[in-house]
């Protein structure tokens, strides 16, 4: 059995994409996994089944991360079912791209609500409740460094997440809790692929010297490192995982 047995991890946005790969990986590493989702109940149940088939323990938990009450309820449920929470992976996010001049209010508000307020909602609960030795892994993006056109609002939400990451790592002093962020580059999921031409996808895949897109498993490996025993000494950092794009 893995070294992480008895530890509990909440992974937000774990029904699809990178979050699903993280949930499966942490399940293999021995964590009991809370597979959070917003709307994709069937996909979340599939992830739970895969974790169980691999010998792990998991439960699906619906909660819109932008809803503070729903997030509190998800932490309550995890604590009641499993006795506590050790790891929070703040993976849930959306990306709506447009030149700044054309961004409408609804698109701005939604990205702030899910990417920034959603991350804050779960961080606040984690700050209150995470057990000693806990880990927080937030999600930024390499576009914070690249600053490409059309990413102003999305990258703005992620820059704020990076800032909260550093500050919260200091606020956890005395509890042996680390707080880091992972900042992927282009990764083959719905969020990245939807709405892009094959030509654009190919160009972005070649933008790093390894000349391919990231996979959800590439990113899950980085999260597993930060969540596991080898990551103990990394704290308050942003790890860009992008094949060397920036
Ligand atoms: P994805 O394939 O679109 O999956 C998004 C996940 O987030 C889904 O499980 C979705 O749940 C969940 N979600 C969305 N809104 C939610 C909400 N309000 N409450 C709870 N869950 C919610 O995205 P992804 O590519 O895996 O992205 C994961 C993270 O990596 C995001 O934070 C993203 O910004 C970041 N990232 C991705 C890339 C990339 O190239 N893919 C690059 C850099 C950073 P439902 O299925 O229920 O809707």
Residue 81 resides in a domain: yes
pLDDT band at 102 (very low <50, low <70, confident <90, very high): very high
Tally of structural domains, the chain: 1
Residue 3 has pLDDT above 60, yes or no: no
Residue 77 resides in a domain: yes
User: Which residues are annotated as catalytic?
Assistant: 154
* Pocket (CB within 6 angstroms of ligand 1): 12-19, 36-40, 43, 64-66, 91-95, 114, 118, 139, 141, 184, 186-187, 189-192
pLDDT number for residue 177: 98
Residue 246 resides in a domain: no
Residue 53 resides in a domain: yes
Residue 187 has pLDDT above 90, yes or no: yes
Q: State the CATH number of the domain containing residue 231.
A: 3.40.50.720
pTM: 0.98
Interior/surface letters 135-147, b for 16+ CB within 10 angstroms, e for the rest: bbbbbbbbbbbee
In tens, the pLDDT along 138-153 reads: 999 999 999 999 999 9
How is residue 54 written in tokens? 């691999």
Nearest by Cα to 79 from 14, 12, 129, 134: 129
Separation CA 164–CA 138 (nearest Å)? 9
Ligand 1: which atom is nearest the Cα of residue 64? 19
In tens, the pLDDT along 111-132 reads: 999 999 999 999 999 999 999 9
pLDDT number for residue 2: 58
Q: Are 53 and 29 in contact (CB under 8 A)?
A: no
Our mutation pick for probing the ligand 1 site, out of 64, 181, 191, counting the most ligand atoms within 8 A of Cβ, is 191
Ligand 1: which atom is nearest the Cα of residue 219? 30
Q: What is the mean pLDDT of residues 224-239?
A: 98
pLDDT number for residue 5: 72
Q: How far is the CA of 19 from the centre of ligand 1 (A)?
A: 7
Residue 1 resides in a domain: no
Percent of the chain with pLDDT over 70: 99
Q: How far is the CA of 74 from the centre of ligand 1 (A)?
A: 18
Number of Cβ within a 10 Å radius of residue 128: 9
Chain center to CA of 26: 13
Pick 3 or 150 by higher pLDDT. 150
Our mutation pick for probing the ligand 1 site, out of 34, 70, 93, counting the most ligand atoms within 8 A of Cβ, is 93
Residue 244 resides in a domain: no
Q: How far is the CA of 92 from the centre of ligand 1 (A)?
A: 4
pLDDT band at 1 (very low <50, low <70, confident <90, very high): very low
On average, the pLDDT of the chain sits at 97
Full domain range(s) for residue 70:
8-239
Residue 30 resides in a domain: yes
Q: What is the mean pLDDT of residues 192-198?
A: 97
Residue 197 resides in a domain: yes
Separation CA 178–CA 173 (nearest Å)? 9
Residue 159 has pLDDT above 90, yes or no: yes
């Amino acid at each position: 059995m893995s070294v992480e047995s008895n530890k509990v991890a909440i992974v937000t946005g774990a029904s699809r994409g990178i979050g699903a790969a993280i949930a499966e990986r942490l399940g293999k590493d021995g964590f009991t996994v809370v597979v959070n989702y917003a709307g994709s109940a069937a996909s979340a149940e599939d992830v739970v089944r895969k974790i169980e088939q691999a010998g792990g323990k998991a439960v699906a938990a619906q909660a819109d991360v932008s809803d503070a009450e729903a997030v509190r309820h998800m932490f309550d449920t995890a604590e009641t079912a499993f006795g506590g929470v050790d790891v929070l992976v703040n993976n849930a996010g959306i990306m709506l791209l447009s030149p700044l001049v054309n961004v409408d209010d609804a698109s701005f508000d939604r990205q702030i609500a899910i990417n920034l307020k959603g991350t804050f909602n779960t961080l606040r609960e984690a700050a209150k409740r995470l057990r000693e030795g806990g880990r927080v892994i937030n999600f930024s993006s390499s576009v914070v460094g690249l600053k490409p056109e059309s990413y102003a609002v999305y990258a703005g939400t992620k820059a704020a997440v990076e800032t909260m990451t550093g500050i919260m790592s200091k606020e956890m002093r005395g509890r042996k809790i680390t707080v880091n962020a992972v900042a992927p580059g282009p990764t083959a999921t719905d969020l990245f692929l939807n709405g892009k031409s094959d030509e654009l996808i190919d160009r972005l895949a070649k933008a790093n010297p390894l000349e391919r897109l990231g996979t959800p498993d590439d990113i899950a490996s980085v999260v597993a490192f930060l969540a596991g025993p080898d990551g103990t000494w990394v704290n308050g950092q942003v790890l860009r995982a992008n094949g060397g794009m920036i």
